[in-house]
Each structure stands twice: as C-alpha cells, then as structure tokens.
Amino acid sequence: MGGGEGSATLLGDAERVFLESARVAHLATADAAGVPHVVPVCFAVAGDTVYIAIDRKPKSGRPLKRLRNIAENPSVALTADCYDDDDWQRLRWVMLRGRAEILENGAEQAAAHRHLRAKHQQYRTMDLAPLPVIAIRIERVVHWAAAGGGARDATGGRDGAL
C-alpha cells in the first residue's frame, strides 16, 4: 500500500508545489510489446504516490487502453508541464516514473478519491466509488526548467527550484 504521508519522499518541495498546481498531466503507458500510449489525465499526489481516477466522462465502452497496458506492463511515466508561448523562460516540467497498480476497492482507493476530489471540483459530484483508480508508486523524479539551466534528476539529489 502506498500514499503514506510523513515518510521520506522522492518529491522535493518545488516539484510537489508544481504538481499540486498542475491541473492536467500526461500518462504514458506501453503494452507488453512496448507500443506506447499517452493520454491527458487529472491526478492528485499523496506522499510518493500519484492517483488518477477513471471517471464517468464518456469512454469508448471497451476497457481503457491505459488499464489494459498497466495490466500487461506496469512501468509508466507521468509528465506535467507549463508552456508559455510568450515567455520561454517560464517553460518547465516534472516527469515521474514508477510502477502503476489498479485499485478496484479498499481503503487506499477511498483515500485516493478523497485526494482527487480535494484537487478537482468536477469529481465532487461524481460517484467514483465503484470506479478504479490508477496508483503510481513513484520511483524516479526528473524536472526541467528553462530558467533553472536544464534537467535535474531529483531522485539522486535535489537542488534548485522549478
């Protein structure tokens, strides 16, 4: 079980603040053959776990490709970015790599829904309880900021702000 608060964390303060302010990120998964799939997602961070809801927005009716991919290959990446077409000194991103799990029920799934509702008001009126949650156990953090002089692998030691 993940999402524990208060333990040592891979995310530095700057990365956590950036992720908490980001409204959307892009989830990259790959199937067993390594074929990539990238989709925009709403997410919330708790400890060293990222939660992504599978909500009631219209879907194709088939099991989602991201869920099928995670079942075949749990290695994933999530990237949140800030793009400013007028001021490229404001460009920055955070990429998280880790292993994903599908939470179908239980205490962690319920806690994940609470984190997601706290961040995204649209979820507050949705019945998320019967729906799965993707939990990404963060293993590596990399960030980049134009004003900060390039990419930093925060897993091996953090310095600087985003």
The 10s digit of each residue's pLDDT in 82-139 is 988 888 888 999 999 999 999 999 999 999 999 999 999 999 999 888 899 999 999 9
> Does the pLDDT value for residue 60 go beyond 80?
no
pLDDT of residue 152: 64
Burial of 114 (0-12, 13-18, 19+ CB in 10 A): middle
Name the more confident of 81 and 90: 81
pLDDT digits (tens, 9 = 90+) for 102-116: 999 999 999 999 999
Indicate the CATH number for domain 13-146. 2.30.110.10
pLDDT for the residue 146: 87
The pLDDT of residue 157 is above 70:
no
Residue percentage of the chain with pLDDT more than 90: 68
Q: What is the pTM of this model?
A: 0.85
Between CA 118 and CA 108 the distance in angstroms is 15
> pLDDT per residue over 7-23, tens digit each?
457 899 999 999 999 99
pLDDT score for 25: 98
Q: Average pLDDT of the chain?
A: 87
User: What average pLDDT does range 138-155 have in this prediction?
Assistant: 78
Query: What is the three-class DSSP state of 148?
Result: helix
Q: What is the pLDDT of residue 68?
A: 94
pLDDT at 43 over 50: yes
